[in-house]
Amino acid sequence: MSEWRAATDELSALNLIFIDALLALGRSDHKEEACRLAAAAWSALRHGHPGEAERLNGVLHTLTRNNRSQQSSHGGRHARTKNP
């Protein structure tokens, strides 16, 4: 979680701190809010700082992957149902 300390510039450091916060938000059962914020930040950075935007894209994939695996293991909306 302290990867931001090794960042070479302020934007990278702030983005890594933001990513830590997004992942913590996702772990605390606020995945939708974390995804919304990550997507907004990705949109803001995608043209001027594509490398930083790609980090946020990875966060979105992490948050949604965790969500999909929980839905599958708990019989989420994509779980198959048996006909009676």
2 vs 8: CA distance, rounded Å: 13
At 65, the pLDDT band (50, 70, 90 cuts) reads confident
Q: What is the pLDDT of residues 11-42, one digit of tens each?
A: 999 999 999 999 999 999 999 999 999 999 99
The predicted pLDDT at position 80 comes to: 36
Report whether 52 contacts 10 (CB < 8 A): no
- Token duo for residue 6: 């090794």
